[in-house]
Amino acid sequence: MADAGRLLLVAGVLMIVVGGALMLFGRFHLPGDITFRSGYVTVYIPIAASIIVSVVLTVVLNLLVRRR
């Protein structure tokens, strides 16, 4: 159970670091991301970014789990 807590803590710190880096370097838009603008409303759907994050997290978590 302590391992699950440590994993959640590391994941949280990693998300904070990535979020801070994105705030410092500005937002980036990948070619597969969709943006709708209408008047004062903007809707941004990061499809490509979500796929990339999903693949990276899958690889990292598989490497961490298989190592044990």
Residue 50's contacts (CB-CB under 8 Å, 6 or more residues apart) are none
Give the integer Cα–Cα distance in Å for 58 and 5: 18
- The DSSP symbol for 41 reads E
Q: State the pLDDT confidence band at 2, using cuts at 50, 70 and 90.
A: low
Reported pTM:
0.51
Number of domains in the chain: 1
How wide is the angle at C-alpha 66 spanned by C-alphas 16 and 13, nearest 5°?
10
For residue range 3-60, list pLDDT tens digits in order: 777 888 888 888 888 777 766 665 666 677 788 899 899 888 878 878 888 888 888 8
49 is in which domain, residue-wise? 2-67
b/e for 13-44, b at 16 or more Cβ within 10 A? eeeeeeeeeeeeeeeeeeeeeeeeeeeeeeee
